[in-house]
Homo-oligomer: A and B are copies of this chain.
Amino acid sequence: MKKRLRGNMLIAQGGGPTAVINCSLVGAVRKARGYEEVEAIYGSLNGVNGIINERMVNLSFESERNLNEIAYSPSSALFSTRDKPDADYCAKIFKVLEAHNIRYFFYIGGNDSSDTLRIVKEYADNENYDLCCVHIPKTVDNDLVLNDHTPGYPSAARFVAEAFIGLDLDNRSLPGVYIAVIMGRHAGFLAAASALAQKYEDDGPHLIYLPERPFDIDSFLEDVKAVYKKHGRCVVAVSEGIQDASGQPIAVKLSEVVEKDAHGNVQLSGSGSLGDALKDYIKDNSDIDRVRADTFGYLQRSFRACASDIDRLEAEEVGEIAVIFGVEKNQSGSVTISRTGDYAVDYKLVELEEIAAKTKLMPDEFINDAGNHVTDAFRDYLRPLLGSGFSAGGARIRVPRVRPLIKKL
């Protein structure tokens, strides 16, 4: 086993916030406090951006009570960033790490953040600077490779499933077509979670469209019409990242101005245009009067009130495990979650290169043949992640109809 590094630790959060990302922060901070080699625990504000601007806080002074409250607060307590370091940016990061004798860098984030960490680690190695870099996974998109699932996803998935329980019952009471647009740039895991709302066979969502299958507007129209004919209503979950056969996002096809972040990602959330366009298409091409569309937007990723307890515990544990790998063993890499039982997990450390900037998509066995819904294999996969206290669907009145007494009204 390699010798433990002595010096300060830096922890930061990157990318989109989640409901449980602070559990990982607190898990790592608490565990790191137990090592005398870790002299001080710094938090960088706004991810790597806080490093190059030397905006850091000393978490060693944080009280247990406040750490506990932070763990239960959604969104990134250390704030976030979309910055993607280039060589020049890395040189600046490195200068600050060196000045503060930082020997451990823990970055909680998705595939973009792991890529940032990979670049920093490479820079440190080239400079012969001893730096242990550990990536702590999080993303509501659930799209990190080599991970069974990613902290943040289960809570966002539970929000989506909870939302669809209410929305489907709402649509049963006032029938029509209802479309909800759900986050997911490349992977449809979050939109797919809507299926967990279903209890009865005719419960919605009746259709689910994922980025993993080419989206054809006319097939969509036919699907909706068929469901509407059968049930007198239709509830649809659409991933914001749906794309046509050539790979062009439908949201981009519909939008004139396209906004991109530093990682080259097209801005999809924070607008209702995709949902409205799909709604208008149904209205314009069918006889269905009542067509509504909602876009879940930012609500789904930082909603405190229905976070999964399993997700919280795993998020905290993954922070703790990162410190075990990083400080105890002086190993750099990315912590991954594997499923080892029904339901149990185990954690491994893989090379940063294996995770960085890669995207996991929904496997074929999770998507139905028609490409417009999920399979039971997906339901079995997701159910344990939603945590305790979740149950599908709503109750229905199940008493007999009163026999009509009037022939014609």
Contact = CB atoms under 8 A, between A and B. Distances in A.
Assembly stoichiometry (copies) = 2
A53 B162 CA distance: 33
A379 interface: no
Interface stretch (A123-131, A218-226, A301-309, A321-329): A301-309
Nearest to A81: B174
Interface string A5-45: 00000000100110100000000000000000000001100
Given A399-B61, A405-B99, A172 B92 contact: no
A167 B57 contact: no
Interface in A142-185: 162-163, 165-167, 169-170, 172-174, 178
A80 B173 contact: yes
Nearest to A71: B395
Interface stretch (A186-194, A207-215, A290-298, A358-366): A290-298
Nearest to A283: B257
Interface of A: 13, 16-17, 19, 42-43, 46, 52-62, 66, 69-70, 72-82, 92, 95-96, 99-100, 162-163, 165-167, 169-170, 172-174, 178, 269-273, 275-276, 279, 291-299, 301-306, 394-402, 404-406, 409
Contacts of A80: 173-174
B292 A294 contact: no
Contact of A162 (B66, B78, B305): B305
A271 to B, nearest CB: 6
B17 A397 contact: no
A329 B150 CA distance: 59
Contacts of A73: 169, 394-395
B74 A165 contact: yes
A262 to B, nearest CB: 12
